[in-house]
Amino acid sequence: ELNVKLPKDFLFGYATASYQIEGSTTAANRGPSIWDTFTLKHPSPIADGSSGDDAADYFQRWKSDVALLKSYGVNAYRFSISWSRIIPKGGRGDEVSLEGVRFYREVIEELVRVGITPCATLYHMDLPQALHDRYGGWLNREIVDDFVHYAKTCFDAFGDLVKHWITHNEPWCISVLGYGNGVFAPGRSSNRTRSLAGDSKTEPWIVGHNLILSHAYAAKLYHEESQPTQGGVIGITLDCVWYMPYDNQSTECIEAAQTALDTRLGWFADPIYKGHYPASLLSSLGDRLPKFTSEEIAIVHGSSDFFGLNTYTSNLVQPGGNDEFNGKVTTGFVRPDGTQLGTQAHVPWLQSYAPGFRALLNYLWKTYKKPVYVTENGFAVKDENKLTATEAVKDTARVEYYRGYTLALLEAVSIDEVDIKSYFAWSLLDNFEWAEGYQVRFGVTHVNYETQERTPKESSRFLKQACIILVGVCEY
């Protein structure tokens, strides 16, 4: 047993995202986002034909949900702000919705009142539809100025209380899932019959480029105009799998794992933390990778105060494959001896493997040299959607997942001396899991979508204990 604690100011809490929990999508003047439009398509691109129209009804129930969060003994909460609640039509010439501002203001004030540190994400997948219609949304460089304006509106409205800002959540997913294979809004792709016409060869790289620029210019504004008086930090959250060689004696496998990391992570992390795109991307994509001007790259480089990380799983990597967005490698969970890496989740892409979490944290610290904020980590129990609330609360596989991952985090901090500042479990509530709809449950709280009743699962009790033991912040 490790007899070490995390620093007292370590943020330990839960993460959520606006479209996945709020519902009330037309209330208080909210404008439509690309997810509202996407979920209306026929046939539905969502596994159960659902949408976030009701979700977990957090827009109505946020006050009792904050009380629930408090009862879970944590000291931090990461939520996202819906752009189209703040500026319904999205643009810098468009009206700000005071009702939208008031909603988040009340949530933030309540969090602060009960002693929970608010961490706000500005963009978690839900672009105002009006900007997509006006000029193609993320495909157009125009978006940078509109995002910066929206960000400034939020810094001005909430920055006296919010000291932790995340510009974008998972730019790889926004670019690849939204514009590469079309399974996320706005559903553009060249190779899926159900998606809108798009060009998967070029669009994801353009979108990624504009996401990087919009992050960088918003961070620049924050650093110059808000941080001096408000004194917070700002960064970006990237999603990554720990990619490790299938055979660690094989040079080809070692190189393939590195290429996978360069593509999934380096695509965004290298410009931001090192000042250039990875060499492997530059050579494989050539002119399809947009270029930064020297003025732009100077703003991009060093724009993030920290490294925000969403991570859930690890993969074994072999050379050969045709998915350009993974670096054309083959990934899997089966070891050479035929055994599986870990416990299979309800979604095919996730198996538990805590040693990979520790290895990834070490890799980030060594490679990018910035304090790491773990902004999401969690598990969807297999077939949990088929259980009643009474059955679902016994979520042993989720407890085991969190046991392994929180211990790996503690080892990374105390043995490996990686600078880690937060751990946010995904998620506080069961919620709308994007293209999977409501069939996939990641919450530590069971949500009955008929009645919106909340029932704490055993994992919420496990994480409460973990928080007391690791951080010692619990007041109960």
Radius of gyration in angstroms for the set of CA atoms belonging to the chain, rounded to a whole number? 21
Q: Does 430 bind ligand GCO (CB under 6 A)?
A: no
Q: Which residue has the tokens 């949304």?
A: 137
Choice from 173, 299, 407, 474 touching ligand GCO (CB under 6 A): 173
Q: Is 142 designated active site?
A: no
Shorter beta-carbon distance to ligand GCO: residue 65 or 433: 433
Q: Does 203 bind ligand GCO (CB under 6 A)?
A: no
Angstrom distance (rounded) from CA 116 to CA 473:
11
Q: Does 401 bind ligand GCO (CB under 6 A)?
A: no
Angstrom distance (rounded) from CA 236 to CA 271:
12
Q: Does 138 bind ligand GCO (CB under 6 A)?
A: no
CA distances from 434 to 55, 182, 183, 239, 385 (A): 11, 12, 9, 16, 15
Stretch that binds ligand GCO, among 169-177, 285-293, 336-344, 449-457 (CB under 6 A): 169-177
Shorter beta-carbon distance to ligand GCO: residue 173 or 407: 173
Angstrom distance (rounded) from CA 119 to CA 78:
5
Q: Does 129 bind ligand GCO (CB under 6 A)?
A: no
Angstrom distance (rounded) from CA 309 to CA 408:
15
Choice from 22, 376, 384, 395 touching ligand GCO (CB under 6 A): 376
Shorter beta-carbon distance to ligand GCO: residue 21 or 206: 21
Shorter beta-carbon distance to ligand GCO: residue 169 or 200: 169
Residue 191 amino acid letter:
N
Beta bridge partners of 11: 422
SS (HEC) of 29-47 = HCCCEHHHHHHCCCCCCCC
Residues 441-470 that bind ligand GCO (CB under 6 A): 442
Which candidate, 398, 380, 471, 445, places its Cα nearest to that of 69? 445
First-to-last C-alpha distance (Å) of the chain: 24
Which token pair is 409? Answer: 């985090």
CB 409 within 8 Å of CB 357: yes
Q: Does 411 bind ligand GCO (CB under 6 A)?
A: no
For residue 275, the SS3 value is: coil
Angstrom distance (rounded) from CA 226 to CA 346:
42
Burial state string for 309-336 with b = 16 or more CB within 10 A and e = fewer than 16: bbbbbbbbbbbeeeebbbbbbbbebeee
Q: Does 14 bind ligand GCO (CB under 6 A)?
A: no
Residue nearest ligand GCO, Cβ-based: 170
Tell me which of 296, 376, 384, 433 is the catalytic residue: 376
How does DSSP assign 67-112, residue by residue? HHHHHTT-SEEEEE--HHHHSTT-STTSPP-HHHHHHHHHHHHHHH
Residues 301-340 that bind ligand GCO (CB under 6 A): 310
Shorter beta-carbon distance to ligand GCO: residue 78 or 149: 78
Beta bridge partners of 165: 120, 234
CB 466 within 8 Å of CB 5: no
CB of 70 to ligand GCO, least distance (A): 23
Choice from 11, 17, 265, 463 touching ligand GCO (CB under 6 A): 17
Choice from 36, 146, 170, 296 touching ligand GCO (CB under 6 A): 170
Please count the residues of this chain forming the interface with ligand GCO, following the rule CB under 6 A: 10
Q: Does 146 bind ligand GCO (CB under 6 A)?
A: no
Shorter beta-carbon distance to ligand GCO: residue 243 or 246: 243
Provide the pairing of β-strand 307-310 with 233-239: parallel
CB of 153 to ligand GCO, least distance (A): 22
Choice from 169, 280, 377, 445 touching ligand GCO (CB under 6 A): 169
CB of 39 to ligand GCO, least distance (A): 15
CB of 183 to ligand GCO, least distance (A): 11
CB of 308 to ligand GCO, least distance (A): 10
Angstrom distance (rounded) from CA 12 to CA 10:
6
Shorter beta-carbon distance to ligand GCO: residue 20 or 50: 20
CB of 137 to ligand GCO, least distance (A): 17
Contact set with ligand GCO (CB under 6 A): 17, 20, 169-170, 173, 310, 376, 426, 433, 442
Active-site annotation, residues: 376
